[in-house]
Amino acid sequence: MDSYKYKYRPEPYRIKMVEPMRIPTREQREEAIKRAGYNTFLLNSEDVYIDLLTDSGTNAMSDNQWAGLMLGDEAYAGSKNFKHLEEAVRDLYGFKYVVPTHQGRGAENILSKIMIKPGDYVPGNMYFTTTRAHQELAGATFRDVIIDEAHDPENEHPFKGNVDLAKLQALIDEVGPERIPYISLAVTVNMAGGQPVSMANLKAVYELAQKYGIKVMFDATRCVENACFIKHREPGYENKTIREILREMFSYADGCTMSGKKDGIVNIGGFLALNDQELYQKATALVVVYEGMPSYGGMSGRDMEALARGLYEAADYDFVAHRLDQVRYLGEKLLEAGIPIVKPIGGHAVFLDARRFYPHIPQDEFPAQMLAAQIYLESGVRTMERGIISAGRDAQGNHYYPKLELVRLTIPRRVYTYAHFDYVVDAVQAAWNNRQNVKGLRFVYEPPVLRFFTARFEPIQ
Ligand SMILES: *Cc1c(COP(=O)(O)O)cnc(C)c1O
C-alpha cells in the first residue's frame, strides 16, 4: 500500500472505548446559550455535541498511556514517574533540567518570576493570553516582533510564526539588551492561527540573542506540530524524523515552558525545562511555593507517567501527520464551501475570519464572540472567540484592537473522525447563510483579567 496515495491520511489507531454523545435540540441550544451569557466557555459540556472549544487537555490517551496510569508511584518525593518524565524531556528535547508543573501556565508563572524585573521588555512572536499575563504581572512590557504577514489572514506565507529580526533588533536598540531578560518564542503560534516558525528563523533568532546575551525561551506547547510543518515545508528536512527536527529546534533555545495538555497528549500537566543550573535552582525554590515538590510540581505520579509516554507518542510521524491532515481536511472543506478562513491552514485549528462573516458588526460589538454563539445555536458545535475579547484591555483600560478577529475550531487529538468534521462544515455553512440577520453583542459582566473565560454578554437589539 506504500504507493497508494490517499486523499487524506486515515486514522493510525482503532477505537477501543466509546463515549456516547447527542445533539441537543434547537430549543435546548437556545436556552443553553442564553444561560451561558453568549460565551461558549460558559456552556455545560452536556449541552455540547462536537466540542471544538480547545485542544487543551481534551486529548484521547492511548492504551499505553492508560496502562502507565496503573504504574503511578505516588510517593511524596522522588517518584519514579518523575524520573521517566525527566528522561523523556532530556531525550526528546535535550534540556538538562525539568521542573514539573500542574500545567503550562504554572511553568509560565515560575519562568516570569525568576527572569523578569519590573520595567523589562519581553519580545514575542505574537502574544499568548496566559503567557503575556504572567509576563505583565511580573512587571514586563510585551512587544510583538512577529512578521507582518502573521497579522494578515489572507497571506499564505509558509512560516507565519517567524520573528521579524528587524523588529527584534529595533527593540534591542531602543531599550537595551539588559532590559530584555528573554525572547518568548512560540512554536507554533496559537494566536496567529497555529502557524509554524521555520528552523532557519529559530536559528537566526538564537544567534542574534546570543550576540547580546539575551536568552531564548520557547513556548513548546505545540512543538511537534511545528516540527511536522518543518518536515513538510522547509527544504532539507523532508527526510529527517520528527525527533531529529525537535532536537535541532530545541538546540536554539535556553529553555521552554510546556503545556502537556496539547502536544503531550494528556489531560493535565506541564513543565519548565532549562539548561542553566542557577536558573533551575531559582525555579525549584518557587515551584515548592506554587506547585509542589520539584519531583511532582502539582501532578500525581500517574499523570507524570502518562505525560512521559505521551511525549514519545507525539514525536511519532504517523501521529502528527494524521493530526495535521484532520485539521487540513476541515479547513479545505470550509474553503470549498466559500467560508473565509485564515490561510494557510494551521496545526491545531481552523480559524474563521469573523470580520468577513459580519462586516456590518464593528469590532467593539464583538463579531467573533457572536459568531461562536451562532455556530453553537445552529448545530451544538462549540467553538471559541479569538479576537478583541481574548485580547483584553491595556493598562489605560482601553480595548486592545487586534487585527485578527477570529473564531477558532480546535481539533482535540485522536478524538473525532472525518465524519464529525463534515457535520462541522454544515454547521458553519448554516451560520454563513444566516450572516446578514446577525447583530453584535455588549457586555453584561466583564472580569478584570483573562476576560474571555468568564465574561457575559447580551445581543444588541
Ligand atoms: C495552552 C497554552 C498555554 C498555557 O498552557 P496551560 O496548560 O493551559 O496552562 C501556553 N501557551 C500556549 C501557546 C498554549 O496554547
Residues 44-77: tens digit of each pLDDT: 999 999 999 999 999 999 999 999 999 999 999 9
Q: Where are the domains of the chain?
A: 3-55+317-459, 63-314
* pLDDT at 129 (0 to 100): 87
Q: What Cα–Cα distance (Å) separates residue 459 from each residue in 259, 361, 371, 389, 391? A: 35, 12, 12, 15, 20
Same fold, 3-55+317-459 and 63-314: no
* pLDDT at 366 (0 to 100): 97
- If you average pLDDT over residues 428-455, what whole number do you get? 95
**Residue 219 alpha carbon to ligand 1 centre in Å:** 8
Q: Is the pTM of this model over 0.85?
A: yes
**Residue 105 alpha carbon to ligand 1 centre in Å:** 6
Pocket test for ligand 1, best of 111, 188, 219, 259 (most atoms within 8 A of CB): 259
- If you average pLDDT over residues 98-120, what whole number do you get? 98
Compute the distance between CA of residue 344 and CA of residue 349 in angstroms, rounded to an integer: 11
Residue 252 has pLDDT above 70, yes or no: yes
Q: Return the ligand 1 atom nearest residue 261 CA.
A: 7
Where does ligand 1 bind, in terms of residues with CB under 6 Å? 56, 103-105, 128, 130-131, 186, 190, 219, 221, 259, 261-262, 270
- If you average pLDDT over residues 284-293, what whole number do you get? 96
Residue 116 has pLDDT above 60, yes or no: yes
Q: Return the ligand 1 atom nearest residue 188 CA.
A: 13
Do 304 and 100 form a contact (C-beta atoms < 8 A)?
yes
Question: For 3-55+317-459, CATH number?
Answer: 3.90.1150.10
Is 128 annotated as catalytic? yes
**Residue having the nearest C-alpha atom to atom 12 of ligand 1:** 221
Is 95 annotated as catalytic? no
Compute the distance between CA of residue 86 and CA of residue 260 in angstroms, rounded to an integer: 13
Is 386 annotated as catalytic? yes
Compute the distance between CA of residue 357 and CA of residue 375 in angstroms, rounded to an integer: 12
Is 456 annotated as catalytic? no
Residue 1 has pLDDT above 50, yes or no: no
Is 76 annotated as catalytic? yes
**Residue having the nearest C-alpha atom to atom 5 of ligand 1:** 104
Of the candidates 8, 13, 76, 401, the residue annotated as catalytic is 76
Of the candidates 105, 333, 386, 413, the residue annotated as catalytic is 386
- If you average pLDDT over residues 362-369, what whole number do you get? 97
Residue 461 banded pLDDT, cuts 50, 70, 90: confident
Three cell numbers written together for 103: 500545567
Residue 2 has pLDDT above 60, yes or no: no
Q: What Cα–Cα distance (Å) separates residue 385 from each residue in 291, 409, 428, 457? A: 30, 9, 14, 13
Spatial CB neighbours of 46, under 8 Å, sequence gap ≥ 6? none
Question: For 63-314, CATH number?
Answer: 3.40.640.10
Residue 3 banded pLDDT, cuts 50, 70, 90: low
Is 218 annotated as catalytic? no
Of the candidates 93, 128, 421, 457, the residue annotated as catalytic is 128
Is 262 annotated as catalytic? yes
Residue 4 banded pLDDT, cuts 50, 70, 90: low
- If you average pLDDT over residues 6-16, what whole number do you get? 90
Q: What percent of the chain has pLDDT over 90?
A: 93
